[in-house]
Amino acid sequence: MQPAMDRERVCVTFMLDGHEAIPSEKLHHRPGDRAEQAALFAVERVMLRVMRNHIYRRVGDLSCPRHGQGPRIVATGPAPDRLKLSVEGCCQNLVDCATVALEEDAPRPSLAV
């Protein structure tokens, strides 16, 4: 496993209830927000930030030793408390390593070249 330069190497995207993708760095805005939905989205936003931080803690230091890329995580579901994570990456080795790292109580895996 090679440490990533920073957490920006890990790309996290959220898709809630079939809406447009929300990149983790843009959690301040959700497409289609209305004023009456602002309070509800404030709670969702906090939950998504917690999930983003959890993902960063688990895979933020992973990068592929061969390609130098970090994993791409897509979290989809009807609500922030019912998200399913999928992992994409430059190669199967990175995908497998990130998948294991995201599993609860799993030891941190190491990437082989």
Higher pLDDT, 10 or 2: 10
Confidence of residue 34 (pLDDT cuts 50, 70, 90): low
Tell me: pLDDT of 7 over 70.
no
| pTM for this prediction | 0.75
Decide if pLDDT at 27 tops 90.
no
Q: How big is the CA angle at 81 (ends 14 and 109), to the nearest 5 degrees?
A: 70
- How far, CA to CA in Å, does 9 sit from each of 3, 27, 88? 10, 17, 13
pLDDT tens profile 53-105: 999 999 999 999 999 999 999 999 998 899 999 999 999 999 999 999 998 66
Quote the pLDDT of residue 29. Answer: 56
- Provide Rg for the chain, Cα atoms: 15
Nearest to 78 by CA among 2, 4, 15, 16: 16
Q: For tokens 């592929």, what's the residue?
A: 64
